[in-house]
Amino acid sequence: MPKVDGIEATKQIKVSCPAVAVLILTAYDDEQFIFSLLEAGAAGYLLKSVRGRELVDAVRATYAGESVLHPLVARKILNRFVPPSGGPEGEKPHEVLSEREMDVLRLATKGLSNRDIGEELCLSPRTVQGHLGHIFNKLNVSSRTEASLRAVKEGWVTLNDLP
C-alpha cells in the first residue's frame, strides 16, 4: 500500500465507517504491528500463510461480528497481556459480567463461533449474539478481539483456559 500503511488505513476506515469490520491479511507477525492494528480497530488478524478456505471462513466470521486471529498472533497477544502471576489484576469478572456472560466470553476467547458457543451452553446462536452485545457494551469494546484482550488483561481468562 504505497500511500498509507495498514495501521493508518484501519484507523481511517474505523473513523469514517465505525461499523465496518477490518480483517488484516499480512506477512508480518511483529508484535508492535499486531498491537497497533488491533488498537486501530482491526477485528481480525491473519498471516498470509493461511489456506484459502480458512481465509474465506475468516471473512465470513468477521462479517458476522466475530473476531479472527491466527494462532501465532493469538499466542503473542495472550503472552503480552497475561499477568505475570497468572492471577487477576483488576476488577473481578462477577463485578462486571454475569456468570452466563463470562461463560460466553470464555468460549469466545477460545475462538468458538456463536453456533459452537450455543451448542456448548445449550443456547441459540441468536442468544449468544445477544450476550456478546451485552458483553461489548459492559466492557466498552466493539469486537470479540477487544473483549478477549480485556478478559486476558484482567486475568479473567488465562493461558490454561485456552486450547
Amino acid (one-letter) located at 75: R
Backbone angles phi, psi at 122, to 5 degrees: 60, 50
Pick the CATH number of 84-163 from 3.90.1150.10, 1.10.10.10, 3.30.930.10, 1.10.357.10: 1.10.10.10
- The secondary structure of 8-46 as a DSSP string is HHHHHHHHH-TTPPPEEEES---HHHHHHHHHHT-SEEE
Q: Which long-range contacts (CB under 8 A, 24 or more apart) does 116-124 make?
A: none
Residues spanned by CATH 1.10.10.10 within the chain? 84-163
pLDDT tier at 15, thresholds 50, 70, 90:
very high
Beta bridge partners of 68: 44
The pTM for the full model equals 0.53
Quick check: 22 pLDDT over 90? yes
**Per-residue pLDDT reduced to its tens digit, 57-73:** 999 988 888 888 888 88
Within 13 A of 27's CA, how many CA atoms are on the CB side?
Answer: 0
Contacts of 92 (CB under 8 A, 6+ apart): none
How sure is the predictor about 95, in pLDDT bands with cuts at 50, 70 and 90? confident
pLDDT at residue number 94: 66
The reply to whether CATH 3.40.50.2300 applies to domain 1-81 is yes
Decide if 145 contacts 42 (C-beta within 8 A).
Answer: yes
**Parts of the chain belonging to CATH 3.40.50.2300:** 1-81
